[in-house]
Structure 1
């Protein structure tokens, strides 16, 4: 069907690729389109027939996520690993501890229920309620007023999330598996050294 364009040339809709083609060129376009192009059944893009298999393998072939093992379309793998993988490493907004995303909610429930001293009023406030507490009782104050003892001392430099904002910050910071394993290794070494020193001290006291 010929459709007048904004100029003087009319266009005709190609029923194969669904593009408007200048009517004078339609017969040539249609013959070329039918012969050389096909629509991808997955994404709907028009693909050269000679590259259809390559397009599917490069774009839509399922691949296993290296972290969680879930089968994901190749073109979606990067987004999955960055934003959706349950085993990606994120950081707790309360204590900055790196852990797999699948464990985050459980960790936040425990970590957010810890209490810290609020310097202005001298009360101990749960971390998950700290922001609401500051807004209710210390709104508009400055120069460190309304901060907990940890914030006042500059240990973290940021306030805790509201209970409704259980995911830390805008989005959990991601940490590489290498850094995560390094953190665990350092922690383990510190525990071993501490145990050794304590054992030596007890031995010396007994002597």
Structure 2
């Protein structure tokens, strides 16, 4: 059975596409005159846009942070991970600064000291996390194994006896304040009566 000529294809020597055999000559003339294969990606692009295609798609670009020229495909990775001028944060003070300055900054910043509120010792910031896990006065460490720390009956009774003097002195204070208040009221009352009698005379 004969194959229709429209279904017979030929490969264009310029663009490597399969073209119906009856149209191959016309296609090749048009293709070779107007299209150009990109040497980087292999796409066929119009000859008048070939340079623009290369510049916009494949040409190395300068990093806007450090001016280093890198391939366009890895520009995002360069800016996020490798650029010496990318902004990073100090792990001790959270100050943002260029990555190129981070090492020297942390050498100084990490040697600053901070007071440990558990043991009242000054600890370097670079050693803070290690100190917190080993600080002998830390609540987690000082607590030790769990045990019953509730006071016994005798301890509660002893504590009650120790608190009694404070309770007595507090009652005496309230009594003294009350007596003083009454005395002031009586004094002001008698003074007012005396002033009234003097005015009547």
Query: Which interval holds the TM-score relative to the shorter structure?
Result: 0.3 to 0.5
How does the TM-score come out when normalised to structure 1? 0.44
Higher fraction of helix: 2
TM-score, with normalisation over the residues of structure 2? 0.45
Larger RCO (alpha carbons 8 Å, 6+ apart): 1
